[in-house]
Chain A
Amino acid sequence: MSSIEEKITANFDGIEVRKIEEGRIEVKTKKEALLSTLNFLKDEGYGHLGLVSCVDRIEEGIFELVYILSRYLVGGEVAVDQASLIVKTEVPRGNPTLVTSVKVFETAEPYERELHEMFGIVFSGHPRLTPLFLERDIDLPPMRKDFDTRKYVEEEFESIPPVED
Protein backbone atom coordinates (compact mmCIF):
# COMPACT_ATOMS: atom_id res chain seq x y z
CA MET A 1 0.00 0.00 0.00
CA SER A 2 1.42 3.31 -1.00
CA SER A 3 1.67 6.15 1.43
CA ILE A 4 -0.60 9.16 1.31
CA GLU A 5 2.18 11.34 -0.08
CA GLU A 6 2.63 9.06 -3.05
CA LYS A 7 -1.10 8.89 -3.64
CA ILE A 8 -1.43 12.65 -3.71
CA THR A 9 1.47 13.19 -6.09
CA ALA A 10 0.17 10.43 -8.35
CA ASN A 11 -3.27 11.97 -8.58
CA PHE A 12 -2.57 15.65 -8.97
CA ASP A 13 -0.32 17.60 -11.28
CA GLY A 14 1.85 20.36 -9.97
CA ILE A 15 1.13 19.71 -6.32
CA GLU A 16 3.89 19.96 -3.75
CA VAL A 17 3.95 17.46 -0.93
CA ARG A 18 6.52 17.79 1.81
CA LYS A 19 6.94 16.03 5.10
CA ILE A 20 7.53 18.73 7.70
CA GLU A 21 8.13 16.33 10.55
CA GLU A 22 6.77 13.07 11.86
CA GLY A 23 3.00 13.31 11.68
CA ARG A 24 2.77 16.50 9.65
CA ILE A 25 2.56 16.61 5.92
CA GLU A 26 2.32 19.84 4.01
CA VAL A 27 0.39 19.88 0.75
CA LYS A 28 0.64 22.96 -1.43
CA THR A 29 -2.02 23.18 -4.04
CA LYS A 30 -3.24 25.67 -6.61
CA LYS A 31 -6.31 27.67 -5.76
CA GLU A 32 -8.28 26.06 -8.61
CA ALA A 33 -7.42 22.55 -7.47
CA LEU A 34 -8.28 23.12 -3.83
CA LEU A 35 -11.75 21.62 -3.86
CA SER A 36 -10.74 18.51 -5.73
CA THR A 37 -7.78 18.04 -3.41
CA LEU A 38 -9.98 18.33 -0.35
CA ASN A 39 -12.50 15.95 -1.88
CA PHE A 40 -9.80 13.44 -2.67
CA LEU A 41 -8.35 13.63 0.82
CA LYS A 42 -11.76 13.23 2.38
CA ASP A 43 -12.25 10.03 0.42
CA GLU A 44 -8.85 8.87 1.63
CA GLY A 45 -10.11 9.02 5.20
CA TYR A 46 -9.11 12.52 6.19
CA GLY A 47 -12.64 13.32 7.24
CA HIS A 48 -11.98 15.87 9.96
CA LEU A 49 -11.34 19.48 9.09
CA GLY A 50 -9.84 20.93 12.22
CA LEU A 51 -9.12 24.48 11.20
CA VAL A 52 -9.16 26.91 8.35
CA SER A 53 -6.88 29.83 8.88
CA CYS A 54 -5.11 32.47 6.93
CA VAL A 55 -1.66 34.00 6.87
CA ASP A 56 -1.21 37.49 5.50
CA ARG A 57 2.04 37.41 3.54
CA ILE A 58 2.09 41.06 2.76
CA GLU A 59 5.60 41.16 1.21
CA GLU A 60 4.63 38.53 -1.32
CA GLY A 61 1.21 40.08 -1.89
CA ILE A 62 -0.72 36.93 -1.08
CA PHE A 63 -2.98 35.42 1.53
CA GLU A 64 -2.05 31.87 2.37
CA LEU A 65 -5.02 29.77 3.41
CA VAL A 66 -4.35 26.78 5.60
CA TYR A 67 -6.66 23.82 5.98
CA ILE A 68 -5.74 21.26 8.60
CA LEU A 69 -7.11 17.78 8.08
CA SER A 70 -6.75 14.73 10.21
CA ARG A 71 -8.13 11.23 10.30
CA TYR A 72 -9.18 8.93 13.05
CA LEU A 73 -10.45 5.81 11.35
CA VAL A 74 -8.99 3.85 8.45
CA GLY A 75 -11.35 1.18 7.19
CA GLY A 76 -13.20 1.07 10.49
CA GLU A 77 -9.99 0.71 12.51
CA VAL A 78 -8.43 3.44 14.58
CA ALA A 79 -5.72 4.95 12.43
CA VAL A 80 -2.20 3.95 13.33
CA ASP A 81 -0.49 6.89 11.74
CA GLN A 82 -2.31 9.95 13.00
CA ALA A 83 -0.61 12.30 10.60
CA SER A 84 -2.33 15.57 9.93
CA LEU A 85 -2.32 17.11 6.52
CA ILE A 86 -1.72 20.81 6.19
CA VAL A 87 -3.25 21.87 2.92
CA LYS A 88 -2.11 25.29 1.77
CA THR A 89 -3.24 27.46 -1.05
CA GLU A 90 -2.63 31.04 -2.08
CA VAL A 91 -4.92 33.83 -3.16
CA PRO A 92 -3.72 37.26 -4.33
CA ARG A 93 -4.16 40.11 -1.84
CA GLY A 94 -5.65 42.34 -4.48
CA ASN A 95 -8.50 40.06 -5.34
CA PRO A 96 -9.01 37.60 -2.48
CA THR A 97 -11.71 35.29 -3.75
CA LEU A 98 -11.90 31.57 -3.35
CA VAL A 99 -14.57 28.98 -3.79
CA THR A 100 -16.10 27.81 -0.54
CA SER A 101 -15.30 24.39 0.84
CA VAL A 102 -18.54 24.11 2.80
CA LYS A 103 -19.83 21.54 0.33
CA VAL A 104 -16.98 19.22 1.21
CA PHE A 105 -16.62 19.95 4.90
CA GLU A 106 -19.58 21.53 6.63
CA THR A 107 -17.40 22.55 9.55
CA ALA A 108 -15.70 25.07 7.31
CA GLU A 109 -18.67 27.40 7.55
CA PRO A 110 -17.85 29.39 10.70
CA TYR A 111 -14.13 29.46 9.83
CA GLU A 112 -14.84 30.96 6.46
CA ARG A 113 -17.17 33.51 7.97
CA GLU A 114 -14.42 34.48 10.36
CA LEU A 115 -11.86 34.78 7.57
CA HIS A 116 -14.28 36.88 5.59
CA GLU A 117 -14.69 39.20 8.53
CA MET A 118 -11.09 39.34 9.68
CA PHE A 119 -9.22 39.23 6.36
CA GLY A 120 -11.86 40.20 3.83
CA ILE A 121 -11.60 37.01 1.84
CA VAL A 122 -14.70 36.36 -0.23
CA PHE A 123 -15.79 32.76 -0.38
CA SER A 124 -18.03 32.34 -3.37
CA GLY A 125 -20.94 30.00 -2.84
CA HIS A 126 -20.88 30.33 0.94
CA PRO A 127 -24.43 30.11 2.37
CA ARG A 128 -24.14 33.14 4.66
CA LEU A 129 -21.16 35.42 4.78
CA THR A 130 -22.52 37.56 7.59
CA PRO A 131 -20.45 39.04 10.43
CA LEU A 132 -19.55 36.59 13.14
CA PHE A 133 -17.64 38.31 15.95
CA LEU A 134 -17.42 41.98 15.23
CA GLU A 135 -20.17 44.29 16.33
CA ARG A 136 -19.59 46.94 13.72
CA ASP A 137 -18.27 47.38 10.22
CA ILE A 138 -14.57 48.12 9.96
CA ASP A 139 -13.47 49.39 6.59
CA LEU A 140 -10.22 47.50 6.48
CA PRO A 141 -10.50 43.99 7.92
CA PRO A 142 -8.65 44.14 11.25
CA MET A 143 -6.41 41.09 10.95
CA ARG A 144 -4.67 42.34 7.82
CA LYS A 145 -1.12 43.39 8.41
CA ASP A 146 -1.63 46.88 7.04
CA PHE A 147 -4.41 47.56 9.54
CA ASP A 148 -3.14 50.10 12.05
CA THR A 149 -4.78 49.16 15.35
CA ARG A 150 -3.27 52.08 17.23
CA LYS A 151 -4.68 54.59 14.78
CA TYR A 152 -8.04 52.85 14.77
CA VAL A 153 -8.25 52.91 18.58
CA GLU A 154 -7.33 56.57 18.65
CA GLU A 155 -9.95 57.47 16.10
CA GLU A 156 -12.75 55.33 17.37
CA PHE A 157 -12.40 54.95 21.12
CA GLU A 158 -10.09 57.63 22.42
CA SER A 159 -11.89 60.39 20.58
CA ILE A 160 -14.99 59.71 22.67
CA PRO A 161 -15.11 62.35 25.38
CA PRO A 162 -15.16 61.44 29.07
CA VAL A 163 -18.39 62.29 30.85
CA GLU A 164 -18.14 65.61 32.65
CA ASP A 165 -20.33 66.00 35.68
Chain B
Amino acid sequence: MDRRQLIKWLKEPLKMSNKYSLHVVYFCTGCGIIEIPPSITARWDAERFGVKPVATPRQANLFLITGYVSLKTLKPIIRTYEQMPAPKYTVAFGSCPIDGGMYWDSYNTINHLDKYIPIDGYIAGCMPRPEAVFAGITHLWTLIDEGKADGYKKYRRNYSQYRSNQERLYGELGWPPRFETEGLENE
Protein backbone atom coordinates (compact mmCIF):
# COMPACT_ATOMS: atom_id res chain seq x y z
CA MET B 1 0.00 0.00 0.00
CA ASP B 2 1.10 3.48 -0.81
CA ARG B 3 2.01 5.26 2.42
CA ARG B 4 0.93 8.64 1.14
CA GLN B 5 -2.58 7.30 0.95
CA LEU B 6 -2.71 6.55 4.66
CA ILE B 7 -4.55 9.77 5.44
CA LYS B 8 -7.16 8.98 2.83
CA TRP B 9 -7.63 5.53 4.30
CA LEU B 10 -8.19 6.97 7.75
CA LYS B 11 -10.55 9.65 6.49
CA GLU B 12 -12.69 7.64 4.13
CA PRO B 13 -12.14 3.95 4.74
CA LEU B 14 -15.32 2.91 2.97
CA LYS B 15 -14.57 4.70 -0.23
CA MET B 16 -11.00 3.48 -0.31
CA SER B 17 -11.91 -0.13 0.25
CA ASN B 18 -14.52 0.12 -2.43
CA LYS B 19 -12.05 1.51 -4.81
CA TYR B 20 -9.41 -1.18 -4.35
CA SER B 21 -11.68 -4.17 -4.34
CA LEU B 22 -13.53 -4.10 -7.58
CA HIS B 23 -15.31 -7.39 -7.92
CA VAL B 24 -16.36 -7.70 -11.48
CA VAL B 25 -19.18 -9.42 -13.21
CA TYR B 26 -18.32 -9.68 -16.87
CA PHE B 27 -21.24 -9.58 -19.17
CA CYS B 28 -19.96 -11.43 -22.18
CA THR B 29 -21.80 -9.76 -25.01
CA GLY B 30 -20.20 -9.01 -28.30
CA CYS B 31 -16.60 -9.33 -29.31
CA GLY B 32 -15.05 -7.62 -26.30
CA ILE B 33 -15.06 -10.73 -24.17
CA ILE B 34 -12.06 -11.97 -26.14
CA GLU B 35 -9.93 -9.37 -24.35
CA ILE B 36 -11.09 -10.43 -20.90
CA PRO B 37 -9.23 -13.77 -20.49
CA PRO B 38 -5.80 -12.21 -21.20
CA SER B 39 -6.52 -9.27 -18.95
CA ILE B 40 -7.54 -11.33 -15.93
CA THR B 41 -4.92 -14.04 -16.30
CA ALA B 42 -1.15 -14.11 -15.93
CA ARG B 43 -0.15 -11.97 -18.88
CA TRP B 44 -1.79 -8.71 -17.81
CA ASP B 45 -3.07 -9.79 -14.40
CA ALA B 46 -5.97 -7.58 -13.45
CA GLU B 47 -5.57 -8.52 -9.80
CA ARG B 48 -2.75 -6.02 -9.55
CA PHE B 49 -5.51 -3.45 -9.69
CA GLY B 50 -7.75 -5.26 -7.26
CA VAL B 51 -10.02 -6.37 -10.08
CA LYS B 52 -11.34 -9.83 -9.58
CA PRO B 53 -14.06 -11.79 -11.36
CA VAL B 54 -16.78 -13.18 -9.15
CA ALA B 55 -19.39 -15.81 -9.65
CA THR B 56 -22.61 -13.93 -9.24
CA PRO B 57 -23.80 -10.35 -9.63
CA ARG B 58 -24.90 -10.38 -6.01
CA GLN B 59 -21.25 -10.31 -4.94
CA ALA B 60 -20.05 -7.82 -7.51
CA ASN B 61 -19.67 -4.09 -7.54
CA LEU B 62 -18.31 -3.50 -11.03
CA PHE B 63 -20.28 -4.39 -14.10
CA LEU B 64 -18.29 -4.68 -17.33
CA ILE B 65 -20.38 -4.86 -20.48
CA THR B 66 -18.08 -6.01 -23.22
CA GLY B 67 -19.51 -5.08 -26.55
CA TYR B 68 -22.66 -4.58 -28.56
CA VAL B 69 -25.92 -5.10 -26.77
CA SER B 70 -28.67 -6.78 -28.70
CA LEU B 71 -32.28 -6.54 -27.66
CA LYS B 72 -32.20 -10.01 -26.26
CA THR B 73 -29.16 -9.34 -24.06
CA LEU B 74 -30.36 -6.01 -22.78
CA LYS B 75 -32.98 -7.75 -20.69
CA PRO B 76 -30.47 -9.87 -18.71
CA ILE B 77 -28.26 -6.80 -18.43
CA ILE B 78 -31.07 -4.94 -16.69
CA ARG B 79 -31.70 -7.92 -14.45
CA THR B 80 -28.02 -8.30 -13.58
CA TYR B 81 -27.68 -4.63 -12.85
CA GLU B 82 -30.64 -4.63 -10.52
CA GLN B 83 -29.28 -7.60 -8.61
CA MET B 84 -25.97 -5.97 -7.76
CA PRO B 85 -25.75 -4.37 -4.35
CA ALA B 86 -24.90 -0.67 -4.15
CA PRO B 87 -22.39 0.93 -4.45
CA LYS B 88 -22.04 -0.40 -7.96
CA TYR B 89 -20.24 0.88 -10.99
CA THR B 90 -20.79 0.11 -14.65
CA VAL B 91 -18.22 0.36 -17.37
CA ALA B 92 -19.08 -0.23 -21.00
CA PHE B 93 -16.47 -1.61 -23.24
CA GLY B 94 -15.89 -0.73 -26.88
CA SER B 95 -17.65 1.67 -29.16
CA CYS B 96 -20.82 -0.36 -29.63
CA PRO B 97 -22.49 0.40 -26.27
CA ILE B 98 -21.66 4.09 -26.72
CA ASP B 99 -23.59 4.72 -29.92
CA GLY B 100 -24.04 1.45 -31.70
CA GLY B 101 -20.58 1.32 -33.28
CA MET B 102 -20.61 -0.57 -36.50
CA TYR B 103 -24.08 -1.89 -35.65
CA TRP B 104 -25.52 1.60 -35.69
CA ASP B 105 -28.29 0.73 -38.14
CA SER B 106 -29.01 -2.80 -37.06
CA TYR B 107 -32.59 -3.69 -36.30
CA ASN B 108 -31.60 -5.75 -33.30
CA THR B 109 -28.83 -3.82 -31.57
CA ILE B 110 -29.63 -0.96 -29.28
CA ASN B 111 -27.67 2.20 -29.90
CA HIS B 112 -27.21 4.03 -26.64
CA LEU B 113 -26.84 1.80 -23.64
CA ASP B 114 -27.02 4.71 -21.22
CA LYS B 115 -30.67 5.22 -22.02
CA TYR B 116 -31.49 2.02 -20.21
CA ILE B 117 -28.98 1.69 -17.38
CA PRO B 118 -26.56 4.30 -16.06
CA ILE B 119 -22.95 4.01 -17.24
CA ASP B 120 -20.11 5.41 -15.16
CA GLY B 121 -17.46 5.16 -17.81
CA TYR B 122 -16.78 4.07 -21.32
CA ILE B 123 -13.63 2.49 -22.63
CA ALA B 124 -13.50 3.43 -26.27
CA GLY B 125 -11.97 1.27 -28.97
CA CYS B 126 -13.03 -1.51 -31.20
CA MET B 127 -12.04 -3.44 -29.18
CA PRO B 128 -9.99 -1.95 -26.35
CA ARG B 129 -6.77 -3.71 -25.45
CA PRO B 130 -6.11 -4.85 -21.86
CA GLU B 131 -3.97 -1.75 -21.32
CA ALA B 132 -6.98 0.36 -22.16
CA VAL B 133 -9.04 -1.64 -19.70
CA PHE B 134 -6.56 -0.85 -16.95
CA ALA B 135 -6.46 2.79 -17.97
CA GLY B 136 -10.22 2.75 -17.64
CA ILE B 137 -10.08 1.06 -14.23
CA THR B 138 -7.55 3.53 -12.85
CA HIS B 139 -9.64 6.36 -14.18
CA LEU B 140 -12.62 4.83 -12.41
CA TRP B 141 -10.59 5.08 -9.18
CA THR B 142 -10.27 8.81 -9.73
CA LEU B 143 -13.98 9.08 -10.37
CA ILE B 144 -14.77 7.14 -7.20
CA ASP B 145 -12.37 9.38 -5.28
CA GLU B 146 -14.09 12.49 -6.53
CA GLY B 147 -17.53 11.01 -5.96
CA LYS B 148 -18.38 11.24 -9.65
CA ALA B 149 -19.04 7.56 -10.19
CA ASP B 150 -22.56 7.82 -8.88
CA GLY B 151 -24.52 6.07 -11.59
CA TYR B 152 -26.40 3.95 -9.10
CA LYS B 153 -27.67 7.07 -7.35
CA LYS B 154 -28.67 8.52 -10.70
CA TYR B 155 -30.55 5.34 -11.47
CA ARG B 156 -32.53 5.68 -8.27
CA ARG B 157 -33.20 9.36 -8.80
CA ASN B 158 -34.41 8.86 -12.37
CA TYR B 159 -35.82 5.42 -11.93
CA SER B 160 -39.11 6.18 -13.64
CA GLN B 161 -37.34 7.52 -16.73
CA TYR B 162 -35.08 4.50 -17.01
CA ARG B 163 -37.95 2.15 -16.42
CA SER B 164 -40.14 3.77 -19.05
CA ASN B 165 -37.29 3.60 -21.57
CA GLN B 166 -36.83 -0.08 -20.80
CA GLU B 167 -40.52 -0.73 -21.13
CA ARG B 168 -40.71 1.02 -24.44
CA LEU B 169 -38.59 -1.79 -25.81
CA TYR B 170 -40.15 -4.74 -24.06
CA GLY B 171 -43.60 -3.77 -22.99
CA GLU B 172 -44.24 -4.89 -19.44
CA LEU B 173 -40.95 -6.11 -18.00
CA GLY B 174 -42.27 -8.46 -15.33
CA TRP B 175 -39.08 -8.84 -13.37
CA PRO B 176 -37.63 -6.89 -11.55
CA PRO B 177 -40.73 -5.53 -9.88
CA ARG B 178 -41.29 -1.81 -10.07
CA PHE B 179 -39.86 -0.07 -7.04
CA GLU B 180 -41.63 2.61 -5.08
CA THR B 181 -39.97 5.72 -6.38
CA GLU B 182 -41.54 8.24 -4.05
CA GLY B 183 -39.02 9.88 -1.80
CA LEU B 184 -36.10 8.58 -3.83
CA GLU B 185 -35.96 11.53 -6.19
CA ASN B 186 -34.29 13.82 -3.66
CA GLU B 187 -31.83 11.33 -2.29
B-binding residues in A (CB < 8 A):
133-136, 138, 142, 147, 149-150, 152-153, 156-158, 160-165
Number of A-B contacts (CB under 8 A): 57
Q: Which B residue sits closest to A150, measured CB to CB? A: B105
Q: Which of A134, A158, A164, A165 contacts B111 (CB 8 A)?
A: A158
What are the interface flags for B148-175 relative to A under an 8 Å C-beta threshold, 1 for contact and 0 otherwise?
Answer: 0000001001100110010011100000
A149 to B105, CA, bound (A): 6
Given the known interface contacts A135-B71, A135-B72, the answer about A162 and B108 at a Cβ–Cβ threshold of 8 Å is no
Q: Known contacts A149-B107, A162-B115; can you find 8 more A-B pairs with CB under 8 A?
A: A134-B108, A135-B108, A160-B115, A160-B169, A161-B165, A162-B114, A163-B161, A163-B165
Query: B161, A164: Cβ atoms under 8 Å?
Result: yes
- Given the contacts A160-B115, A161-B115, A165-B154, A153 and B105 also touching, CB distance less than 8 Å: yes
Contact with A along B53-70 (1 / 0, CB 8 A): 000000000000000000
- Top 10 nearest A-B pairs (CB, nearest first) are A135-B71, A142-B107, A163-B161, A135-B72, A149-B105, A150-B105, A157-B111, A149-B107, A163-B158, A152-B107
- The chain B residue with its CB closest to the CB of A133 is B72
- When distances are taken between beta carbons in the complex, the residues of chain A under 8 Å from B104 are 153
Task: Please report B residues at the A interface, Cβ cutoff 8 Å.
Answer: 71-72, 75, 104-108, 110-112, 114-115, 118, 154, 157-158, 161-162, 165, 168-170
Contacts of A150 in B (CB 8 A): 105
Chain A residues within an 8 Å CB radius of B106: 149, 153
| Inter-chain contacts of A163 with B (CB < 8 A) | 114-115, 118, 154, 158, 161-162, 165
**Chain B positions within 8 Å of A162 at CB level:** 112, 114-115
Chain A residue at minimal CB-CB distance from B103 = A153
In the complex, the answer to whether B158 meets A157 with C-beta atoms within 8 Å is no
Q: Which residues from chain B contact A134 at a C-beta distance below 8 Å?
A: 71-72, 108
Closest-CB distance, B31 to chain A (whole angstroms)? 18
Between A and B, 20 residue pairs with Cβ closer than 8 Å are: A133-B72, A134-B108, A135-B71, A135-B72, A135-B108, A136-B71, A136-B169, A136-B170, A138-B107, A149-B106, A153-B104, A153-B105, A153-B111, A158-B111, A160-B115, A162-B114, A163-B114, A163-B115, A163-B154, A163-B162
What residues of chain A lie closer than 8 Å to B168, measured between beta carbons? 160
Chain B residues with CB below 8 A from A136, complex form: 71, 169-170
